[in-house]
Structure formats: C-alpha cells, structure tokens
C-alpha cells in the first residue's frame, strides 16, 4: 500500500510538472514570435524595478485597501507554499510531517503562521469576490470581461478559497487524529491556532472516518495545487509568474519617448542625402521592412510578453480618457486581444509545425481601427499599470501600419499631415508668416 501511494504521488507530481513545463515552453516560443528589442541594458536598475514593482507591489498600493488585500494573498501564497516542500517530501516517501522532528519549536511557529495566513487569504478572497460580483465595480462589470475573463476571475477565487479550506481542514483532522487510535502515525506536531476551532466538528465521527477525511483533504490539497499550477497558462493568473520578467524588461526611459523607427530612418537619410541619385537601382538585397504592426508577428517580444502578463485588472482602462467618455477603446482589451491572437497563432503553429496563413490579422479581425484612432497617447494607461505593461506602444505601432502601409488615416489627419509636409505646420498657414505674431 505504501509503495503504491508513493508511486501514485510521483506519477501525479511529475505529470503535472511536465505539463506545466510543456506549456511554459509554448509561451516562450510564442513570445519569441515577436521582433527583437534590446532590453539587456541597465541590469541593476531592471532588477531594482522588479523588486519594487513585482516583489514589493509598490504600484498596487495606489489603491490602499485592495492593494493591501492583494499583498496579503500574494505574501500568503508565497509563504504557505514553503509548506509544499514538506508535503511533496511526505508524498514521495509516504510519510507524515517528515520535517517536524528536525525543526522542533520552529515547526509550531511555522504551522501557526501558515494557518493565520490561510485565514487572511480566505477573508481577502471573499472581499474580492464581493467586489467582483456584488458591488459591481465599474472595472469588473465592463464589457471587456464578458465571457471567459469574468468566469476565469471567479474560478481563481474559488480555487484559492477551496485550497485554503482544504489546508485548514487537513490540519483540523490531523489535530483530531493526534489524540486518536492513529496517534502513532499522527504524532503530536504543530500548533494550529485556526483549525483547532474546526477540529471539534469531527468529535462525533469515528476515528476511521476522520482518517479518510484527513487523507482526502491532503490529497485534494496537493492535487488542487498542481491543478492550479497548470491552470495558470489558461488564465490571467499567469501574472503571478510573468509579473517578474515583465517588470524586469519594462521600459526604463521617459514614457513620453516614443521609439524612432530605424527602418524609416534609413529611408529618410537616403532621401535627404544631397548625393543620393533618386533614379538609382537599389543594390540592397534586404527585404523592405514592413512599417508598423498589423499582426502579432510585427510586434516586439516585450509587447507579446505584456499580452501574457496582463491580469485584466482594468486600471488602464479606468484611467483612459477615451474609455471614460464612452469610446470603444479600452487599453485592457488591446492587450487581451493581442493575447487572444497570439494564442491563435500559437495553436496554428502547434497544428501545422509552422504558421500557415489563416487569413486573419490582429488589425481589423481583433482590434478595430475605431479603437486605435480614439487614443490621445496621454500615457494614463501606461502609468496606471502596476506591472509595467505598455498598451500605448501597440496602439502606435498599429497606427503606423495604418498610415504608412495602408494610407488609411482619417481624412482630417491626412489634411493635418499634408499641411505639415507643405507648410511646416499642422494648419494651412504660410511658413513665411511664422514670425507675424510679434507684430
């Protein structure tokens, strides 16, 4: 029986980890579909940003109440998972609380600490659920989240709640069994400040029943955690991992600075070069680079990492002036649709070995021109993201495609651009009148 249990545990554990690694590789491959961008500079500052934003969650505390609850859930999850070390060793060796004899009094401290954290998580998760489902907070009832995103958000809360309840129940039954006929196996280890109040529930049960309840809780808890690990890939909850690389690689420069496209610079240089022969045949064999982005292939890998990292919290959209005034633009959906398209492209590659044209694009099939033209480039979305996601860069790259490849800018903008080209100002004034204001 004991060998069977260990083998069964090993099978589940290794399968779950393998499947997780398999999906991680897929994410990495999909992110690498993007164009190159150099984010290998300033390693120190990048590391500090990661510590501050992802580890320290500094921007989450802009909203102090939810920021604090989020911090509780995060810290608790990280710390409670230390307990997993013991659970996994127990599982492989078919032992119970294998580390307890080595840690002595500190073990009591740990079990007590984990229980209090678990209780705090339960409270936070309930508050989060109420905010999402009862209080109808604008960012959560938005159309952006219709369907799977809303379900996903609730699933995460349910899973966390169930895992914490299983954890406490595991301890409650353990405590009961420590003074039962199974006390040889369930030795008196640990201090349980929360579950000691649950333990009396089992006083009228037989020892054997409680033993089963304990075993079921133990197995469900670890299987639940392994399930949750694999759920991440299908969920916005992936941010718990990707927030770290995303903050590390995020933009370090002034957010007002928009990149100068180098492919355009080469053309501009040639055009403005007085020695350039406009009729010369180009001797360059390089393919002409596409300007801007119409699909995920044209975005850079950091933008694609953004798409996988997004937690769909909607802080960006609630700060967006266009979104606040009822336009269909929502920076959150720009990111979510980029992720949807990237996933679709990834599945296409899984199926065909390489990408086979599916007649779709990010532009028009996922993100409409109307959304893109509603942006004021005010950077409120970029500023508001707690983990350094930049929806604006995607919007501008797609505008670049619409203007430079499709010539599909709104007429008024074409007039403005013609004016700049002809008169050096966005309005039809004569360049020679520039100094007339002083008269």
Partner 1 sequence: MNVPTLKELSQNGLDPEILFWVGCAGSFDERAKKITKSFVKLLNKANISFGVLGIEESCTGDPAKRAGNEFLYQMQAVSNIETLNSYNFKKIVTTCPHCFNTIKNEYPSLGGNYDVIHHTQLLDDLIKNGKIKVQNESFKGKKITFHDPCYLGRANKEFKAPRNLIDSVKADLKEMKSCKEKGLCCGAGGAQMFKDAEKGNEEINIKRTKEAIDTNAKIIAAGCPFCNTMLSDGLKNQKAEQKVKVLDIAEIVEQASID
Residues near partner 1 (CB under 8 A): 253-258, 260-261, 264-265, 267-269, 271-272, 291-292, 319, 321-322, 324-329, 370, 373-380, 383-384, 396, 398-404, 409-410, 412-413, 415-417, 420-421, 424-427, 429, 431-438
Nearest approach, Cβ of residue 68 and partner 1 (Å) = 20
Nearest approach, Cβ of residue 361 and partner 1 (Å) = 16
Task: Give the nearer residue to partner 1 in terms of CB position, either 348 or 419.
Answer: 419
For residue 151, give the nearest of 234, 225, 228, 222 by alpha carbon.
234
Nearest approach, Cβ of residue 322 and partner 1 (Å) = 7
Nearest approach, Cβ of residue 193 and partner 1 (Å) = 41
Task: Give the nearer residue to partner 1 in terms of CB position, either 243 or 322.
Answer: 322
Cα 110 from chain centre: 30
Q: Which residue has the tokens 């797609």?
A: 398
Nearest approach, Cβ of residue 381 and partner 1 (Å) = 11
Tell me how far apart the alpha carbons of residues 302 and 387 are, in angstroms, rounded to a whole number: 13
Nearest approach, Cβ of residue 71 and partner 1 (Å) = 21
Tell me phi and psi for residue 330, to 5 degrees: -140, 115
Cα 293 from chain centre: 22
Please report the DSSP string for 246-299 in residue order. Answer: HHHTS--S-TTPPP--HHHHHHHHHHH-TT--TTPPP---SPPPPPS-SSGGGS
Helix/strand/coil for 35: strand
Helix/strand/coil for 373: helix
Nearest approach, Cβ of residue 360 and partner 1 (Å) = 22
Q: How far is CA 280 from CA 122, 267, 269, 277, 293, in A?
A: 72, 14, 15, 5, 29
Nearest approach, Cβ of residue 257 and partner 1 (Å) = 4
Nearest approach, Cβ of residue 265 and partner 1 (Å) = 6
Nearest approach, Cβ of residue 383 and partner 1 (Å) = 5
Tell me phi and psi for residue 367, to 5 degrees: -115, 125
Question: What is the CA angle 415-418-419, rounded to 5?
Answer: 85
Nearest approach, Cβ of residue 81 and partner 1 (Å) = 34
Task: Give the nearer residue to partner 1 in terms of CB position, either 37 or 103.
Answer: 37
The residues pairing with 300 across neighbouring beta strands, listed in sequence order, are 35
Task: Give the nearer residue to partner 1 in terms of CB position, either 32 or 376.
Answer: 376
Task: Give the nearer residue to partner 1 in terms of CB position, either 24 or 264.
Answer: 264
Contact assessment for residue 198 and residue 169, using Cβ atoms and an 8 Å cutoff: yes
What single-letter DSSP state applies at residue 300?
B
Contact assessment for residue 178 and residue 187, using Cβ atoms and an 8 Å cutoff: yes
Q: Torsion angle of alpha carbons 303, 308, 313, 314, nearest 10°?
A: 40
Contact assessment for residue 389 and residue 310, using Cβ atoms and an 8 Å cutoff: yes
Label residue 134 exposed, middle or buried (CB < 10 Å: 0-12, 13-18, 19+): exposed
Task: Give the nearer residue to partner 1 in terms of CB position, either 358 or 370.
Answer: 370
Contact assessment for residue 111 and residue 171, using Cβ atoms and an 8 Å cutoff: yes
Task: Give the nearer residue to partner 1 in terms of CB position, either 51 or 413.
Answer: 413
Question: What is the CA angle 256-377-252, rounded to 5?
Answer: 30
Task: Give the nearer residue to partner 1 in terms of CB position, either 135 or 420.
Answer: 420
Task: Give the nearer residue to partner 1 in terms of CB position, either 285 or 431.
Answer: 431
Task: Give the nearer residue to partner 1 in terms of CB position, either 310 or 395.
Answer: 395
Task: Give the nearer residue to partner 1 in terms of CB position, either 67 or 321.
Answer: 321
């Amino acid at each position: 029986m004991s060998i069977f249990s260990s083998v069964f545990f090993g099978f589940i554990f290794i399968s779950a980890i393998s499947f997780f690694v398999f999906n991680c590789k897929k994410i990495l491959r999909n992110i690498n579909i993007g164009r190159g961008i150099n984010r290998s500079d300033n390693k120190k500052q990048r590391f500090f940003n990661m510590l501050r934003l992802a580890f320290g969650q500094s921007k989450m505390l802009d909203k102090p109440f939810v920021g604090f609850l989020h911090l509780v859930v995060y810290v608790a999850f990280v710390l409670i998972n230390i307990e997993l070390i013991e659970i996994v060793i127990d599982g492989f060796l078919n032992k119970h609380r294998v580390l307890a004899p080595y840690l002595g009094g500190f073990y009591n401290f740990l079990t007590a600490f984990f229980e209090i954290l678990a209780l705090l998580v339960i409270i936070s998760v309930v508050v989060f659920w109420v905010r999402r489902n009862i209080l109808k907070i604008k960012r959560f009832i938005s159309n952006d989240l219709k369907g799977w995103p809303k379900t996903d958000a609730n699933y995460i809360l349910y899973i966390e709640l169930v895992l914490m309840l299983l954890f406490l129940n595991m301890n409650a039954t353990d405590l009961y069994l420590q003074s039962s006929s199974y006390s040889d196996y369930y030795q008196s280890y640990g201090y349980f400040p929360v579950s000691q109040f649950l333990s009396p529930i089992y006083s009228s049960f037989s020892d054997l029943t409680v033993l089963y309840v304990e075993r079921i809780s133990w197995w469900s808890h670890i299987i639940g955690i392994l399930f949750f690990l694999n759920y991440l890939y299908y969920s916005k909850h992936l941010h718990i991992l990707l927030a770290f690389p995303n903050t590390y690689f995020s933009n370090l420069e002034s957010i007002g600075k928009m990149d100068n496209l180098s492919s355009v610079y080469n053309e501009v240089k040639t055009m403005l070069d007085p020695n350039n022969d406009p009729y010369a045949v180009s001797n360059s064999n390089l393919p002409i680079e596409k300007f801007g982005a119409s699909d995920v292939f044209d975005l850079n890998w950091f933008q694609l990492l953004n798409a996988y990292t997004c937690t769909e919290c909607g802080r960006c959209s609630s700060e967006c002036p266009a979104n606040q005034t009822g336009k269909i633009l929502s920076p959150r959906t720009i990111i979510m649709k980029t992720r949807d398209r990237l996933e679709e492209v990834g599945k296409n590659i899984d199926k065909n070995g390489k990408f086979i044209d599916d007649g779709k694009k990010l532009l028009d099939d996922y993100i409409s021109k109307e959304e893109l033209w509603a942006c004021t480039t005010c950077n409120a979305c970029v500023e508001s993201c707690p983990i350094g996601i930049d929806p604006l860069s995607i919007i501008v790259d797609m505008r670049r495609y619409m203007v430079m490849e499709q010539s599909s800018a709104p007429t008024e903008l074409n007039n403005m651009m013609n004016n700049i080209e002809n008169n050096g100002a966005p309005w039809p004034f004569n360049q020679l009148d520039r100094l007339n204001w002083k008269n």
